[in-house]
Amino acid sequence: MKRFHVHVNVADLEQSIRFYSTLFGSAPSVRKADYAKWMLDDPHLNFAISNTGRAPGLDHLGLQAEDAAELGDIGARLAAADAVALAESGTTCCYARSDKLWAEDPQGLRWESFLTHGEATTYYASESACATSPVCAAAEAAVATPCCGPAAKASGCCA
């Protein structure tokens, strides 16, 4: 079952952690100096906040896949909608290692679909692997920008 993902940029991380911990009735499952994440079961939500210099507000929405097949299905639907902006395999972002598909809806709202493979010790990697995994193969042809190219770096996902 996919998990809905919301990432919000915040001005004051500690104040926001207090607010969201009270709202969700639980402490974050991941807490770093510039980032916090709640993996909630009710609602089935991956909610993340960060203070990394971006303007406060909604950063992006997304879908977290449970396995490669689920991410492949999402990628195929995004490719059919001609929406994939960037496919990444084995990238590091938000203290996790993941395969990702970045897309934009018609209004320009960023969507991140991803499969997490484990934790990372940094928010960003120094560079990201290009989309060469079978998971991203369906979407790779629709990618207009090379992995970690200028548009990808501007999006903030590649360091």
For range 34-62, the mean pLDDT: 92
Average pLDDT, the chain: 78
pLDDT surpasses 70 at 154 = no
- What would the pLDDT profile of 7-40 be if each residue is shown by its tens digit? 999 999 999 999 999 999 999 999 999 999 999 9
Contact 65, 111 (CB under 8 A): no
pTM of the predicted structure, to 2 decimals:
0.68
Task: Report how far Cα 10 is from the mean position of its chain's Cα atoms.
Answer: 16
How would residue 82 be classed by pLDDT, with cut points 50, 70 and 90?
Answer: confident
Per-residue confidence band for 134, with pLDDT thresholds at 50, 70 and 90: very low
Per mean pLDDT, which of 9-18, 43-52, 121-130 is the most reliable? Answer: 9-18
For residues 100 and 131, the answer to whether their CB atoms sit within 8 Å is no
* Cross-strand pairs, 103: 84, 111
